[in-house]
Amino acid sequence: MSSATPAAAHDHTAEPVLVVDFGAQYAQLIARRVREARVYSEIVPSTMPVAEMLAKKPKAIILSGGPSSVYEEGAPRLDRAIFEAGVPVFGMCYGFQLMATALGGTVDNTGAREYGRTQLHVSKPGSTLFEGTPDEQSVWMSHGDACSAAPEGFTVTASTDMVPVAAFENDEKKLYGVQYHPEVMHSTHGQLVLEHFLYRGAGIEPTWTTGNVIEDQIEAIRAQVGTKRAICGLSGGVDSAVAAALVQKAIGSQLTCVYVDHGLMRKGETEQVEKDFVAATGVQLKVVDAQEQFLVALAGVSDPEEKRKIIGREFIRVFEQAQAEIIAEGDETGEPVEFLVQGTLYPDVVESGGGTGTANIKSHHNVGGLPEDLEFKLVEPLRQLFKDEVRMVGQELGLPEEIVHRQPFPGPGLGIRIVGEVTRERLDLLREADAIAREELTAAGLDREIWQCPVVLLADVRSVGVQGDGRTYGHPVVLRPVSSEDAMTADWSRLPYEVLARISTRITNEVRDVNRVVLDVTSKPPATIEWE
């Protein structure tokens, strides 16, 4: 009982480039950059024994940066066997210093820190890593210790004003290192340097493409599911939509999707799933209209935590009921439903310890006629992918643009964007205001620039306004446009005034009972993105 997808015959994920994670979140970015170079990569913790790393038959190994100093007690170490296995290795920042010290170079604990944008002087312009890049280039540094002598057999290829050895290479042993972070965009030629390592240093062919991902996954899903049936919950978000589309392509009518319309979606979203998604994929879809049930359950509740609990609870109830119906109804094949499709992404896998994933999901049914604890095996076709790769797969599978490039939207939907009690009238109001904001942001070409722009109805607040000849006493609506990389931190987006003005005018003109539009100019922290 495993969710790990069996290896396909021509698995493009075999023999990955391993990114050894020394902490501080650099590893994920490096792994993404490697894949941008069309080479498959996987992240492994620095605590993994070298023998285990080598057992994965890596085409190359990259040592990430990290927050430690090689001289710190308890700082992560690396068995020098990694440099003797004949596998090409590229050390970056902390990884570079580990490499230098392990192989007999000198790293001084100078106490002088180099942080941020730094000028790199390339002394060997034709070297493996720096070929075709300028002699002077901007790089991103973040270190205290500095390498003053390269290990024997290595050529020093670059320096900075503070660091005599800022890059070195040993072509014979296929070992390379740079003191800076080539993975961040501030290192202007970082991607080229990384590609040089992969293609020239390690001799890897760039063959990892979206088409391969789809091909591999279809084969793996077929091998895993066989003739059994699967179900998948669609939330309207990118991940579940792409996961469902992939599984549909692999096993066709053996998959049934469930979509719970809880009435908390934005304008047009339910229709997108019901019509456009089905049209694009041909998937069998069961839509459950549970609007009334959610409204009844939410009546009289203003506390955000309680709202979340109720929405979560009702969602599971409705979803499991639908699931039970699908299972009970069966189909002409008589095959049981054994699999549950989930849109788990690679960052979730890495952050939860990177395990191979053997968990089964227990579904607790309280519906008659079904086993008490029905166990599903998981199908997680996106477990190896980053979000941008998921979008590319979705695009290649022909999913509607509106679904593939959808901005993040909370599971509890508009229910947590009404500050106060949730009622049908308020939901309708907010849906209108939100649709106007989205329309104008799209028209202004700002969708890809901002992370998301929640529109919030302050249902418990009223203020005086004047419209036409009359005094009004309406609700304010808050615009919360934010820029972010990962939603952990965010800044408020400096949207053009004209766009804000248009949104404000339209909302107050077109949405009944709203007489004020205000802009949230708070970063996260201290505020969160959603208001609730």
Residues noted as catalytic: 93, 181, 183
Which CB, 175 or 430, lies closer to ligand XMP?
430
Only one of the segments 8-16, 100-108, 349-357, 521-529 lies at the binding site for ligand XMP (rule: CB under 6 A); that segment is 521-529
Please say whether the beta carbons of 204 and 17 come within 8 A: yes
- Please state the closest distance from residue 529 (CB atom) to ligand XMP, in A: 3
CA distance 59 to 43: 13
Candidate residues 400, 410, 474, 481; the one interacting with ligand XMP per rule CB under 6 A? 410
Q: Give the separation between CA 504 and CA 495, rounded to whole angstroms.
A: 13
- Is the peptide bond between 400 and the residue preceding it cis, with omega within 30 degrees of 0? no
* Antiparallel, parallel or unpaired: β 284-289 and 482-483: unpaired
The footprint of ligand XMP on residues 211-240 (CB under 6 A) is: none
Listed residue (458, 457, 449) closest to 495, CA to CA: 449
What string marks each residue from 36 to 55 as x (binds ligand XMP by CB under 6 A) or -?
A: --------------------
What distance in Å separates the CA atoms of residue 66 and residue 282, rounded to the nearest whole number?
46
Q: For ligand XMP, which is the closer residue by CB, 225 or 456?
A: 456
Task: For residue 415, give the DSSP letter.
Answer: G
Residue 252 touching ligand XMP (CB under 6 A):
no
First to last CA, the chain: 39
Q: Hey, is 47 helix, strand or coil?
A: coil
149 binds ligand XMP (CB under 6 A): no
> Binding of ligand XMP at residue 408 (CB under 6 A)?
yes
| 274-286 per-residue burial string, b: 16 or more CB within 10 A, e: under 16 | eebbbebbebbbb
**The CA-based dihedral angle spanning residues 234, 235, 241, 243, taken in that order and rounded to the nearest 10 degrees:** -70
Stretch that binds ligand XMP, among 81-89, 178-186, 383-391, 522-530 (CB under 6 A): 522-530
The answer to whether 377 touches 360, Cβ cutoff 8 Å, is yes
Contact positions with ligand XMP (CB under 6 A) in 481-500: 487
State the DSSP code for 294: H
Residue 150 contacts residue 103 (beta carbons within 8 Å): no
Helices vs strands, H then E, count in the chain: 15, 24
Which parts are annotated binding residues for ATP?
A: 235-241
User: How far apart are alpha carbons 384 and 389 in whole angstroms?
Assistant: 9
If the CB atoms of residues 425 and 486 are measured against ligand XMP, the closer one turns out to be 486
d(CA 99, CA 63): 9
Site string for ligand XMP, 423-462 (x = CB under 6 A): -----------------------------x----------
Closer to ligand XMP by CB, 411 or 465: give it: 411
Report in angstroms how near the CB of residue 484 gets to ligand XMP at its nearest. 8
CB of 33 to ligand XMP, least distance (A): 24
Instruction: Choose the binding region for ligand XMP from 73-81, 266-274, 346-354, 408-416 (rule: CB under 6 A).
Output: 408-416
In the complex, least distance from residue 527 CB atom to ligand XMP, rounded to whole angstroms:
8
Instruction: Name the minimum Å distance from CB 460 to ligand XMP.
Output: 19
Q: How far is the CB of 184 from ligand XMP (least distance, A)?
A: 23
- Count residues binding ligand XMP (CB under 6 A): 10
By the criterion CB under 6 A, which residues form the site for ligand XMP? 408, 410-412, 452, 487, 524, 528-530
